[in-house]
Amino acid sequence: MSNQEKLNIMRHSAAHVMAAAVLKLFPDAKFGIGPTIEDGFYYDFELPRNLSPEDLPKIEQAMSEIVKNKEKFAGQELGIDQAVKLFKDLKQDYKVELLNDLKQKGTTEVKEEGQELFEKPDKVSIYKLGDFVDLCRGPHLRHAGEVKVFKLTSIAGAYWRGDEKNPMLQRIYGTAWENQKELDAYLKNREEATKRDHRKLGKELEIFMFNENIGKGLPLLLPNGRVLREEILKLETEIENRVGYERVWTPHIAKSDLYKLTGHWEHYRECMFSPFGVDDETYVLRPMTCPHHYMIYKNKSRSWRDLPLRIAEDGTCYRYEKSGELGGLARVRCLTIDDAHIFVTPDQVKDEYRLLIKMVQQMFEAFKLKDYYVSLSTHDPKDKKKYIADEATWNKAEKSLEEILKENKIKYELCPGEAAFYGPKLDFIVHDVLGREWQMSTLQIDFFMAERLGLTYVDKKGNPAHPIIVHRGFTGSLERTIAMLIEHFAGAFPVWLSPTQIKIISVGADHIEHCRELAREFMDIGARVQVDDMNETVGNKIRKAEKERVPYMLVIGDKEIGGKELSIRERGVKKTYKIKKQEFIDKILKQIKERS
Ligand SMILES: [Zn+2]
Ligand SMILES: [Zn+2]
């Protein structure tokens, strides 16, 4: 058993201990579900009153008693009807609902109708811990005394089964670890993550906003956010230009017929917004740019000499996400994908992937992302309905992607059943400075769409052939990338990304004109500069600029106007130093150009 599996068992057991403790404090509590999650666990409760943070130490105290008494996890198998009766007698309505689902559908998962893949059990297992009885498969520790160290971390509201039509339950989050040192390290990391939360920093640094009148999941980039977006795109365009990408622009809507042609209508509709009528035709907001790019490919006849043909666009798309799943910029309903569609011949696939991987690595380097791995999503041979094309084609595609990863010595893991309906894919998952995972670049192979849509090229022998299409999301989503960069850098972006690179601070009213002249000079060389000419103390202005995470602060007083040197203060450094103007210009230009 791996360490992670052992930890999960302890955390799962700790969730039972927490539920038993809650039952002691609230004998009328009703219980939802209590799974383990990354780094911890939670349990959902219906309670006679709202919990406050002051309740957590009391619940922890009750948990400590149970741990001290080494209460046993007593498992028992029951017939499903017997279990229904037991939980009815205990007035545990949510558990009864789960049991009835198990009985009727064979699963407690909320799934679409018509999926009858599960065997319906006639027996279930229950576990007792003191007076607390839970419907649970296990496994658990032998007794509560084996829960080493734990801590309850927060309270939140959560709809029963994630559905806003259902009652709102109270969720308590907790964590459990092998020893105090690990718990302390985790809590410290968590505190740091809270400070870096892009929703909090994004507001403070005026990077983006949401507005109720505009709608959920529809972010507005403020001027500082727009700079980040432009800089990311500039970096990507530079990398693309070295290789030979062709950039296009296409509309955000299209006729729904287009998506019927591609098969998205059948396979992807739940992620699309409702169609709307224009004249007497039906249109949709596009959920992706691929179909538009296919039409560009089809616009003229192509020969093997034209391939690889690389069409790129930062394409804004619209996807339906459940409101409960939206979170800042990380999950939105309007997103811009730095997309490309690369049309290649079968013998160009490997070289193109080599190139793509190199491009992704260049981008990661600019963002100072050193730690990443790839998840290789493959098909599920048992699911016949979901996928286009046959087993042999799938196997061939998956094998070649794996070979390329091995050849490039990239850490990867296989994810069977995770592939899209048209082909296997590589997803780059990066770890930020706090070790948290962010999904970034996607390189998806597509052996099928060209054939489906009749996209062809004339091969060397003069015969028509279908190109293979590679879908590339460079970062995947610009919005998520901005969120990641805010948290990764804690808002203190490198100079090339900083919305304001230089803040010029006037000492007194007499110096303002000189500050503005200097600002114009810096603007001329392409730097982003602001003058703070407010009637405040220099100390105050420096504190403000530090809070805005501006990398360079220039203080201009009598000495600077008279002399030949500038007084510079760097972000996070208390000391001011003197430097000749030209030297400073050379320095900042080099940092911007090299993204250092
Ligand atoms: Zn359990
Ligand atoms: Zn695509």
Ligand in nearest proximity to the CA of 15: 1
Q: Using an 8 Å Cβ cutoff, are 79 and 122 in contact? A: yes
Ligand nearest to the CA of 73: 1
| Least reliable range by pLDDT among 42-46, 202-206, 259-263, 404-408 | 404-408
* Closest ligand by atom to 12 CA: 1
pLDDT surpassing 50 at residue 6: yes
Ligand of minimum distance to the alpha carbon of 11:
1
In CATH, what is the architecture of 502-594? 3-Layer(aba) Sandwich (3.40)
- Partnered with residue 594 across adjacent β-strands are none
Task: Give the CA diameter of the chain.
Answer: 91
The mean pLDDT of 363-383, rounded to a whole number, is 91
Taking the centre of ligand 2 as the mean of its atom positions, its distance from the CA of residue 465, in whole angstroms, is: 20
Q: Are 243 and 310 in contact (CB under 8 A)?
A: yes
Which CATH superfamily hosts domain 208-252+286-489?
A: Bira Bifunctional Protein; Domain 2 (3.30.930.10)
Lowest mean pLDDT among 165-174, 256-265, 380-389, 551-560: 380-389
Which-ligand-closest: CA of 423? 2
Say how many Å lie between the CA of residue 199 and the centre of ligand 2: 29
* HSE (side-chain half, CA atoms, 13 Å) at 109: 10
Spacing, Cα 198 to ligand 2 middle (Å): 28
The model's pLDDT over 477-499, given as tens digits with 9 standing for 90+, comes to: 999 999 999 999 999 999 999 99
Q: Which ligand is nearest to the CA of 293?
A: 2
CA 271 to ligand 2 center in whole angstroms? 15
Residue 424's pLDDT is 87
Measure Cα distances from 202 to 392, 487, 492 in Å. Answer: 48, 9, 12
pLDDT tens-digit readout, 34-78: 999 988 999 999 999 999 999 999 999 999 999 999 999 999 999
CA of 309 to the centre of ligand 2 (A): 14
Give the burial class of 359: count Cβ atoms within 10 A of its Cβ; 0-12 exposed, 13-18 middle, 19 or more buried. buried
pLDDT tens digits along 235-247: 999 999 999 999 9
> Is 267 exposed, middle or buried, given 0-12, 13-18 or 19+ CB atoms closer than 10 A?
middle
Assign domain 3-189 one CATH number from 3.40.50.300, 3.20.20.60, 3.40.1260.10, 3.30.980.10: 3.30.980.10
**Ligand 1 centre distance from Cα of residue 57 (Å):** 23
Proximal ligand: closest to the CA of 140: 1
Give the predicted TM-score (pTM) of the model: 0.82
Give 472 Cα–ligand 2 centroid separation in angstroms: 7
User: What does the domain layout of the chain look like in residue ranges?
Assistant: 3-189, 208-252+286-489, 502-594
Can you tell me the mean pLDDT for 530-541?
A: 95
Ligand 1 center to 33 CA (angstroms): 10
Contact 468, 345 (CB under 8 A): yes
C-alpha of residue 415 to centroid of ligand 1, in Å: 26
Determine the pLDDT at residue 88. 95
Starting from the CA of residue 470, give the closest ligand.
2
Handedness of CA 338, 343, 346, 350 (dihedral sign): negative
Mapped onto helix, strand or coil, the DSSP state of residue 572 is coil
CA 288–ligand 2 middle distance (angstroms): 7
Q: How far is Cα 438 from Cα 455, in angstroms, rounded to an integer?
A: 34
Measured in Å, residue 443 CA sits from the centre of ligand 2 at: 9
Cα–Cα dist 263/196, whole Å: 41
